[in-house]
């Protein structure tokens, strides 16, 4: 079933009489499970106030391109990266023309150029404007670039004319937005994903760990579920909410994560090892808190089990995907890791770059497999996760054809 759970919908409202319907559209998007932010053009503010849409969406409304206060919070580039979908409703004839011409003369058109998210337009204008050859040419240009349209509907218009040009009803627009994410690429597949850090105890109050937030693994779990997979997330200790439609199993240590992962293998078609597993653990765990003593102490460590390698080496192994978080020689280290561990695919990212490293909301990566690779440009982790899931689905189709 199509839905917008965990989707970030950026709603653009332009200056037409149908702007009054945007209030109901925000409500419909929220009911579908979306998080909604709103951009309003100056013309839109003549028909409905930003305060109304702020109250309904629960987020500040964005109105100006060069707004110093807004740039200190969520800038236009961050808005563009945040969005999983840019929905413009109403999309007036003027706005369609500016989008077709690649204009960036206000916040909404600038974000439209800056985002990698899909664009869904709900046209609204006088029936003769809709039929005009210039509008038809602009619509054709936008469709050729991959923009989707919903509507317009036909009927009586505010000016008294009757014909096509009415903005489609909010419920229809929201349902169309949701349908864009119903990919079904992994329908019926069983996916297990590890995420977050592990904690290796030193004593009852101290542990060894790392800076992993789990955001990438949780985004992958959401993307897999949205693609129709029965998804289980084996998570180290994080502060993230459980994704909808995903079974979450909480663990602490690498040994616990391995045990849980191996138990799930009989019900696993795809295994994605996204967790930042500690390579070593203390050789012995103190029963009581270690008290402060000499100036120096030595800590003996032993290697932890390699979870993704163990999965890849298992009998009736699933399609196995690993991650390589590197600080230098990214692709060389990633290909070596993929070969050593017998992986089908590996996702390599440079964690030395603080804009895409641990705890960041954005990421960029290169996905490698035996005879190919794909560079994934900087984007929000949710968008990147969907691209990774699409690549995995593509490799599975290729493998099935070869068998």
Q: In which region does residue 240 sit, left (phi positive, over 0), alpha (psi from -120 to 50) or beta (all else)? A: beta
CATH of domain 190-402: 3.40.50.10300
Q: Is 402 a residue of the active site?
A: no
Tens of pLDDT, residue by residue over 275-303, are 999 999 999 998 999 888 888 888 899 99
Asked whether the domain spanning 190-402 has the same topology as the one spanning 8-179, the reply is yes
**Which helix (H) or strand (E) element contains residue 69?**
helix 68-72
Q: Dig out the tokens for 181 from the structure.
A: 């994410």
Tokens 């590890």: give the residue: 194
Beta carbons within 8 Å of 75's beta carbon, 6+ residues apart: none
HEC letters along 299-354: CCEEECCCHHHHHHCCCCCCEEEEEEEECCCHHHHHHHHHHHHCCCEEEEEECCCC
Distance CA 269, CA 279 (A): 26
| pLDDT score for 380 | 85
Query: Is residue 217 classed exposed, middle or buried when 0-12, 13-18 and 19+ CB atoms within 10 A define those classes?
Result: buried
> 203 with 285: CB under 8 angstroms?
yes
Residue 284, judged by CB atoms within 10 A of its CB (0-12, 13-18, 19+), counts as: exposed
User: Nearest-CA neighbor of 157 among 13, 16, 12?
Assistant: 16
Residues 211-252 pLDDT 10s? 889 999 999 999 998 887 889 999 999 999 988 779 999 999
Residue 10: per-residue pLDDT: 95
The residues pairing with 365 across neighbouring beta strands, listed in sequence order, are: 376
Closest by Cα among 222, 252, 221 to 237: 252
Cα distance between residue 273 and residue 267, in whole Å: 16
Is 0.75 topped by the overall pTM? no
Name, in order, each residue with C-beta under 8 angstroms of 194's C-beta and a sequence gap of 6 or more. Answer: 217, 233, 234, 235, 236, 257, 261, 272, 273, 274, 275, 277, 307, 308
Question: Are the CB atoms for 223 and 244 separated by under 8 Å?
Answer: no
The ranges assigned to domains in the chain are 8-179, 190-402
Instruction: List, in sequence order, every beta strand (DSSP E) within 124-223.
Output: 148-149, 153-156, 162-166, 190-195, 200-201, 207-208
Domain 8-179: CATH class, spelled out? alpha beta
Catalytic residue among 147, 159, 274, 402: 159
Nearest Cα neighbor of 14 from 36, 49, 44 is 44
Phi and psi torsions of 319, nearest 5°: -65, 120
- Phi/psi at 225 (nearest 5 deg)? -65, -40
H-type alpha helices, 83-166:
93-100, 107-114, 127-131, 133-144
Whether residue 257 contacts residue 306, with contact meaning beta carbons closer than 8 Å, is answered with no
The parts of the chain modelled with pLDDT lower than 70 are: 1-3, 5-6, 66-74, 157-159, 182-183, 354-359, 397-403
Instruction: Tell me which residue has tokens 């008290």.
Output: 291
Q: Which of 15, 20, 54 is nearest to 37 (CA)?
A: 54
Question: How far is Cα 229 from Cα 217, in angstroms, rounded to an integer?
Answer: 15
Rounded to an integer, what distance in angstroms lies between the CA atom of residue 349 and that of residue 334? Answer: 9
Using CA atoms, how far apart are residues 168 and 129, in angstroms rounded to an integer?
Answer: 16
Q: Check residue 210 and give its pLDDT.
A: 87
Residue 293 Cα distances to 155, 204, 206, 289, 298, angstroms: 83, 17, 16, 12, 12
Q: Which of 220, 211, 228 is nearest to 367 (CA)?
A: 220
What is the Cα Rg of the chain in Å? 25
């Amino acid at each position: 079933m199509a839905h917008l759970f965990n989707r970030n919908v950026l709603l653009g409202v332009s200056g037409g009489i149908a702007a009054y319907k945007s209030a109901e559209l925000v409500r419909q998007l929220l009911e579908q499970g979306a998080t909604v932010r709103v951009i309003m053009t100056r013309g839109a503010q003549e028909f409905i106030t930003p305060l109304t849409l702020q109250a309904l969406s629960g987020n500040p409304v964005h109105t100006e391109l060069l707004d110093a206060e807004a740039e200190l919070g969520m800038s236009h580039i961050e808005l563009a990266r945040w969005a999983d979908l840019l929905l413009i409703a109403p999309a007036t004839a003027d706005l369609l023309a500016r989008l077709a011409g690649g204009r960036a003369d206000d916040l909404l058109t600038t974000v439209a150029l800056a985002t990698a998210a899909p664009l869904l337009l709900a046209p609204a204008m006088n029936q003769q404007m809709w039929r005009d050859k210039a509008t038809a040419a602009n619509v054709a240009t936008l469709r050729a670039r991959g923009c989707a349209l919903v509507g317009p509907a036909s009927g009586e218009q505010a000016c008294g004319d009757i014909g096509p040009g009415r903005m489609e009803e909010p419920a229809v627009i929201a349902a169309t937005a949701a349908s864009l994410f119903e990919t079904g690429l992994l329908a019926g597949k069983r996916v297990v994903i590890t995420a977050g850090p592990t904690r290796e105890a030193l004593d009852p109050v101290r542990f060894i760990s790392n800076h992993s937030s789990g955001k990438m693994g949780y985004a992958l779990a959401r993307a897999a579920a949205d693609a129709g997979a029965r998804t289980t997330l084996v998570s180290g200790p994080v502060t993230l909410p459980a994704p909808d439609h995903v079974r979450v199993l909480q663990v602490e240590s690498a040994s616990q994560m391995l045990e849980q992962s191996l138990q799930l293998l009989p019900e696993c078609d795809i295994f994605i090892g996204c967790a930042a597993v500690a390579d070593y653990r203390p050789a012995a765990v103190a029963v009581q808190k270690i008290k402060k003593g000499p100036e120096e102490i030595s800590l003996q460590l032993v290697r932890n089990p390699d979870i993704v390698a163990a999965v890849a080496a298992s009998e009736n192994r699933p399609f196995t995907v690993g991650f390589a978080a590197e600080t230098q020689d990214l692709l060389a280290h990633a290909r070596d890791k993929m070969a050593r561990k017998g992986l089908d695919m590996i996702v390599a990212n440079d964690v030395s770059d603080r804009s895409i490293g641990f705890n960041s909301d954005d990421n960029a990566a290169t996905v490698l497999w035996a005879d190919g690779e794909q560079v994934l440009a900087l984007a929000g982790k949710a968008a990147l996760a969907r691209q990774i899931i699409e690549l995995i689905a593509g490799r599975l189709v290729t493998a099935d054809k070869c068998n």
